[in-house]
Structure 1
Amino acid sequence: MNLPRSGYTLPVFACASAVAALRWLQDDLAALPSVSIDLIEPAETAEIAIEQVARLSPTSALAITRSDPGDNLDLTRHTPVWAVVELSTEAAGETGQEAVAIELQGGEGVGRILTADQPAIYTYARRLLETNLRQWSRPGQTMRVTVILPEGRLLAERTSNAAFGVVEGLSLLGTSGIAQPLSAPGQLEAFRRALQQQASLENLVFCIGENGLDLAQSLGIKPERLLKTANWLGSMLVEAGVQKVQSILLFGYHGKLIKLAGGIFHTHHHVADARQEILAAHCVKVGLPTAEIQQVLASSTTEAGLKYLRELDATSRTTWVEQVYGSIADQIDQRAEAYIYTHSEQHVQVGSILFDRDRQIIVQSRKGDSLLSQVC
């Protein structure tokens, strides 16, 4: 079987565009088919194709690349990534003529972090851009680099970015330049190996993606106990059983983890999706009136269904959110434990914590509450 092909993360293409624009300005090149980018993490160099470069003025240029995430079900595939570089020859602050100053901005299609009111250009992306741009800078230069994702705002509507407080576009997120094919079967083996290395810790936390990992750490969960699962939750739960892990805390966005309550253990929407139906079923279970259940079932997303339940609680002084999501969380725990035992004959304690699009915890299951104190 052919191994899935890795690609590069979105920050790498943003960086390549910025470097191409800078080099076009510096060297007045006749052609620039590609640029070499130091990925930093890992310590490798990537050759990234440049689609177009144009000088906008004597001191500014625009370059364009196209995202290639490898063999992955990634909605950013082939999306254009622009960078505009504007130069100044003024000295960069008080550190002297030799200093180089780089200002990074998020243009159209780059998301904005609500809590910080700043562009969603995270630590690795900033480090990548600054490191590579400095290699081509000249003493005393200052530059403004604006990353633009022309399709970013539209693509963001198909993501759970808003669940992590990012609006109006996509994030330049990640801790590595390599885009592993998380949705491809071959990548599951890498996740399993990571779990095997951490199994001795006995109490672990599963997060589906980078956003969940970031939020979990902000809540005080120890980084060494965190594991990314992508959408392979079922396989990773079974591996935890095989490795005799004592407990697993499932920490995630309710629109993903709710699938486990319905017995769906591969959470990619291409495989199965019954989120509204599962939410409505638990509304039935706790006794929500039929008319309200119909409204929940007709909701366009689980987030919309949650919003409707919250509005009912606010106007009627009820506790439907607590009851419905308490039922869902308990069902997630029970089904996950049963799934592990069925496939590994091991008893592993599972707890769950579900949060909403505003990064606020909706519910901690009884077991989830107990396990959280063990992993913080």
Structure 2
Amino acid sequence: MTHEDTPQLRRGWTTGACATAATCAAVEKLWGGAFPERVSITLPKGEMPEFALEITEAGPDWAMAGVIKDAGDDPDVTHGALIMARVQMGHEGQGIRFLAGDGVGTVTKPGLPIPPGEPAINPVPRQMITDVIHSAARKYGKSTDLDVTISVRNGAALAEKTWNPRLGIVGGLSILGTTGVVRPFSCSAWIASIHRGVDVARATGLPHVAGCTGATSETTVKSLYGLSTGAMIDMGDFAGGMLKYLARNPVDRVTVGGGIGKITKLAQGARDLHSRRSQVDFDLLADWLGDDEVRDMNTALQVFEKHRGKMSEMIADRALSNVRTLLRDAACTPDIVIIDRTGNIIARAG
């Protein structure tokens, strides 16, 4: 298939965009007397998507609308979720007050863009919601003293599949998005979550964090050092994303853990350890080990099965060197832990 033949992946809309659209529809009902059939909003970069309303309800001084989140072709856990906004007249002079409804989390730790005690509705969605309320208030000559309650159907269960519990966001999902647009298979959301994990660790005074490539290495490293859940940064394949951020926002110590394949790629200079974006260089590995047979091998595990400790210890040392390079001169001491598939430690460095 040529590049020209590759099907275009369909974009979607963030939870923040959906919450804004639902709010827009609800204030139209509250002040204008009727729900629109469809609602259009303007995103931060000027795009104007339209949303269909899935549910609508209203009372004498309140109105509620809900839209279904369409994440496009992105494998987002919130795809298909019902995002609801309920607006209700508040007290004179209070302004716009944001509340967490069912399925929306509450921030409990410092270090996030929203302070502890507040609903987990991020700054850009708050501004988008504020903008549509002010626009409707001008249109209808109304005061903007409103309570805005954002809810997500089944949000608490969905949140268990996200980083929220680790970040200290309890009770549900976050309402997110800086552009309003979900770009399919984007790495940016994962890396942003890594950054927030580091921010929370720093704000809560944790001296030691760990980034691991998967669940098995995470379990081993957490047990090895007795680390709390909050100290475990969900690095995945994005070693570079975590380490570059720690270079600018250091903690005292960072552990990088993973299996022999991904740590070999890190040792060889890869920053993104995903199989589609980096590969083990077997020629280089053969030179390091002084074994030409390695050039024809297929996996790092195959090489390890032949060279065992010689390979794993060398890889740990070289990976540590590259981690130090990524950390630059930051006051952050790194170490490496390499595990096998059952979680046993096969090499350490640092």
TM-score by length of 1: 0.56
- What SS does the aligned partner of 2:16 have? helix
Are 2:129 and 1:129 aligned?
Answer: yes
- Residue by residue, what CA displacement relative to the aligned partner does 1:249-306 show, whole Å, maximum 9, x if unpaired? xxx973xx424xxxxxxxxxxxxxxx32xx3xxxxxxxxxxxxxxxxxxxxxx45x65
Map of 1:34 onto structure 2: 38
Are 2:203 and 1:209 aligned?
Answer: no
- Counterpart of 1:36, as a letter, is S
Matches of 1:164 and 1:312 in 2, distance apart?
Answer: 15
Q: Structure 2 residue aligned with 1:372, among 327, 331, 335?
A: 327
Distance 1:372 1:33, change over 3 A: same
Identity of aligned residues (%): 24
Matches of 1:341 and 1:309 in 2, distance apart?
Answer: 29
> What is the alpha-carbon root mean square deviation over aligned residues?
3.7
Q: Structure 2 residue aligned with 1:43, among 36, 42, 46?
A: 46
Map of 1:169 onto structure 2: 172
Matches of 1:130 and 1:118 in 2, distance apart?
Answer: 16
**8 Å Cα contact 2:210-2:256 kept in structure 1:** no
Map of 2:306 onto structure 1: none
Q: Structure 2 residue aligned with 1:14, among 11, 15, 19?
A: 19
Q: CA deviation at 1:65?
A: 0.7
Structure 1 gap segments, 5+ residues each? 94-100, 192-205, 221-251, 260-274, 280-301, 314-324, 348-363
Are 2:86 and 1:119 aligned?
Answer: no
Q: What is the aligned residue count?
A: 245
Matches of 2:23 and 2:320 in 1, distance apart?
Answer: 46
- What SS does the aligned partner of 2:135 have? helix
Matches of 2:74 and 2:117 in 1, distance apart?
Answer: 31
Q: How does 1:180-219 map to 2 (within 5 A)?
A: 180-182=183-185, 208-215=190-197
**8 Å Cα contact 2:264-2:280 kept in structure 1:** no
Distance 1:17 1:329, change over 3 A: same
- What SS does the aligned partner of 2:67 have? strand
Matches of 2:330 and 2:179 in 1, distance apart?
Answer: 25
TM-score by length of 2: 0.60
Distance 1:342 1:50, change over 3 A: same
Matches of 1:327 and 1:106 in 2, distance apart?
Answer: 36
Distance 1:24 1:158, change over 3 A: same
Q: Structure 1 residue aligned with 2:147, among 144, 155, 166?
A: 144
Q: Structure 1 residue aligned with 2:158, among 130, 155, 159?
A: 155
Are 2:261 and 1:335 aligned?
Answer: no
Map of 1:62 onto structure 2: 64
- What SS does the aligned partner of 2:133 have? helix
Matches of 1:14 and 1:59 in 2, distance apart?
Answer: 20
Matches of 2:222 and 2:173 in 1, distance apart?
Answer: 23
Distance 1:68 1:310, change over 3 A: same
Distance 1:312 1:49, change over 3 A: closer
Map of 1:108 onto structure 2: 102
- Residue by residue, what CA displacement relative to the aligned partner does 1:137-172 show, whole Å, maximum 9, x if unpaired? 234341000001121001111222222222221111
Map of 2:73 onto structure 1: 71
Matches of 1:337 and 1:311 in 2, distance apart?
Answer: 26
**8 Å Cα contact 1:104-1:145 kept in structure 2:** yes
Distance 1:215 1:160, change over 3 A: closer
Q: CA deviation at 1:21?
A: 1.1
Structure 2 gap segments, 5+ residues each? 1-5, 110-115, 203-208, 229-254, 271-277, 286-318, 332-350
